[in-house]
Chains A and B, each alone.
Chain A
């Protein structure tokens, strides 16, 4: 009986993993294979040639080149995601600390209000922002997108960081103040070091949101100077014949930073979400 149960569990888990991983892995694998092998009929299951040509094409080192400036897109994405993350973290730390450490009137309403402003669908928000940014002259600039991404990340960053600060007993800060610290010193010497890893994971989350965002970026950026990777991916579909292998290579470029970052902070991320949400 026990053995049967074990077997069933194992098979179920195996199937689960296949479904979870294979689609993603297939794209990643395809990035290292030439187009003719990907598109072959009947399918070539086990790769015969593994090559970096697709990446070469993208970055312009190979013989073959494509007309899509992935390098610029990558740089734009990095600059936009990093800047907006840093700003959102600053704002989120201040806000999260306020929610975790102070009682004030209208606290719940402010919190709910921030969250609700976050729910506005990207595409719905893009319409007025598109019109306003055009008037302000920041349409199709990195700055315009950074500002939008800050607002996209602030509510969630506050939620997470509030949760992390709340796990730190208030008496630690009080003890530090009795020991001679100002509240500001107590924050930087005691509370911040203890919440550091949590704040870092909130940062990773914010970075990923910006890095992966499409709906707003696709409307607010047009030129090589500001387009991000997810928007750039669609350049492929505009071409006469779709270069599937090239697209897969670009997909890998988008996914790798995200993969690395998420694995680094997965533990904190879950803790932050559940603590922030469940504990009152």
Chain B
């Protein structure tokens, strides 16, 4: 009897320890997600409470699928994420390699590199709104006083320029995540394989391509996984910088959700969008998580 109890207890321990975590996630995330799934199947409007109980099946989804006002921001979001993550990775890799080369004052550089990471996305948005402002922004001010242009460049007013400005802000905020983690990877890298490759006659590019880069990939995927957990923070930036304007030309999925749900009170439709955006985030995360697992297996005993 005592025996059975003790064995059971050891078996239960991990579940008891995980219980609070699982409970909180179920209550605060999973349960609301169920609720929003239901809502997305109704024509619910905040202004018409009774509409929450009208089941319309997949109508909201079907309508979204045929609505360019949804598809365009959706496509823009995917494109934005793809470009941003790739550029951040490439830049972060460059920065990590650069800082890895520098011996004098490296610690200081590393600290400076962390600087943008501490900024709240809302602050990043505000900061670049302030800098890119066509009228009072320091950038236009500088360009004009240096005589590079006599016109105010409409950074946040022109659709393409605004998107590029947002991309810049996003990259400013997040490139460091890649740089820091890749740098940690470079520090953890054993010297032997590099030296062996050199002895085997590899030139620096070949060493990088065949030794350094594969070794860094797990670190890159950690960074990607971490980033994909909160890519949606770009919402804050866009919200402050352009609010989705001008004329919806910087509208991303997330700003569209907020507009539909809170400003237009169309909760049913907004929840359907939210579901799609959630699936998008999950797809990104799962993709990188699997890559991480594969890279880890590939590295096998090395790490």
Contacts and interface: CB of A to CB of B under 8 A. Distances in A.
* Touch test A–B (CB under 8 Å): yes
Interface of A: 9, 12-13, 16-17, 19-21, 23-24, 26-27, 30, 38-39, 41-43, 90-92, 94-95, 97-99, 101-102, 104, 107, 110, 112-129, 131-132, 147-148, 150-151, 154-156, 158, 208, 211-215, 218-219, 230, 233-234, 237, 244, 247-248, 251, 254-255, 258-259, 262-263, 266, 270-271, 273-274, 277-280
B24 A151 contact: yes
B22 A110 contact: yes
Given A42-B144, A121-B278, A150 B235 contact: no
Interface of B: 11, 13-15, 17-18, 20-22, 24-25, 27-33, 35-36, 39, 95, 98-99, 101-102, 109-123, 126-128, 130-131, 136, 138, 141-142, 144-145, 172, 176, 180-181, 184-185, 188, 218-219, 222, 225-226, 228-229, 231-233, 235-236, 239-240, 254, 257-258, 261-262, 267, 270-271, 273-275, 277-278, 281-282, 284-286, 289, 292, 296, 303
A36 to B, nearest CB: 11
Given A114-B21, A262-B118, A104 B102 contact: no
A244 to B, nearest CB: 6
A162 B225 CA distance: 16
14 contacts: A24-B115, A95-B21, A98-B13, A98-B15, A119-B278, A120-B278, A131-B35, A213-B120, A214-B121, A234-B122, A244-B136, A258-B120, A270-B181, A278-B303
Contacts of A274: 181, 184-185, 188, 219, 222
B24 A91 contact: yes
Contacts of B261: 127
B270 A127 contact: yes
Given A127-B36, A132-B32, A21 B123 contact: no
A132 B271 CA distance: 13
Contacts of A91: 20-21, 24
Contacts of A17: 109, 112
Q: Which of A21, A121, A129 has the most CB of B within 10 A?
A: A121
Contacts of A42: 141, 144-145
A247 B278 CA distance: 32
Nearest to B23: A91
A156 B115 contact: no
B145 A43 contact: yes
A160 B102 CA distance: 29
Given A20-B115, A116-B286, A273-B181, A121 B232 contact: yes
Q: Which of B21, B36, B131 has the most CB of A within 10 A?
A: B21
Q: Which 4 residue pairs across A and B have the least CB separation, nearest first? A: A121-B232, A212-B120, A124-B274, A151-B28
B126 A233 contact: yes
B39 A214 contact: no
B134 to A, nearest CB: 12
A125 B289 CA distance: 22
Contacts of B36: 124, 127-128
B254 A127 contact: no
Contacts of B296: 278, 280
Contacts of B15: 98, 104
Nearest to B12: A104
Nearest to A209: B230
Given A23-B172, A26-B131, A122 B25 contact: no
Nearest to B99: A13
Given A91-B24, A116-B286, A214-B239, A124 B277 contact: yes
Given A41-B145, A127-B261, A129-B32, 19 more contacts: A23-B172, A24-B127, A95-B17, A102-B13, A102-B17, A110-B18, A112-B286, A116-B282, A117-B30, A119-B285, A121-B254, A121-B277, A123-B258, A156-B229, A214-B120, A215-B254, A219-B258, A277-B218, A278-B303
A97 B17 contact: yes
B21 A158 contact: yes
B254 A124 contact: yes
A230 B122 contact: yes
B232 A26 contact: no
Contacts of A121: 231-232, 235, 254, 274, 277-278, 281
Contact of B117 (A12, A118, A262, A280): A262
B6 to A, nearest CB: 12
Contacts of B29: 117-118, 120, 125, 151
A126 B36 CA distance: 10
B113 A117 contact: no
Contacts of A95: 17-18, 20-21
Contact of A278 (B31, B99, B222): B222
A148 B123 contact: no
B101 A16 contact: no
A38 B240 CA distance: 20
Contacts of A219: 258, 262
